[in-house]
């Protein structure tokens, strides 16, 4: 029994290129999501001010 060897995974150091590629991909994905969110908020704000300018909505509370 003493002659049996257990197979272990060989641990290597971190791959710098692989980490850079993964970081770049995650950064671009997060940046893209942030820009889509920002563009959506801009669209909502622009629509609000367009309606305000046309007089379809008002920010003044009507007196009763």
pLDDT tens per residue across span 22-48? 999 999 999 999 999 999 999 999 999
Structure tokens at 39: 């563009």
Quickly state the pLDDT bin for 10 (edges 50, 70, 90): confident
Could you tell me the pLDDT band of residue 1, with boundaries at 50, 70 and 90? low
Q: Tally the C-alpha atoms within 13 A of residue 33's C-alpha that lie toward its C-beta.
A: 5
When pLDDT is averaged across residues 4-32 and rounded to a whole number, the result is: 87
Check residue 1 and report its DSSP letter: -
Q: What 8-state DSSP symbol labels residue 37?
A: H
Cβ–Cβ under 8 Å, residues 52 and 59: yes
User: Could you tell me the pLDDT band of residue 51, with boundaries at 50, 70 and 90?
Assistant: very high
Are residues 26 and 32 in contact, defined by beta-carbon separation less than 8 angstroms? no
């Amino acid at each position: 029994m003493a002659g049996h060897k257990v197979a272990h995974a060989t641990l290597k150091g971190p791959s710098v290129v692989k980490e850079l590629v993964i970081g770049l991909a995650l950064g671009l994905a997060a940046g893209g999501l942030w820009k889509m969110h920002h563009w959506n908020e801009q669209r909502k704000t622009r629509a609000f001010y367009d309606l305000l300018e046309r007089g379809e909505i008002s920010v003044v509370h009507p007196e009763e």
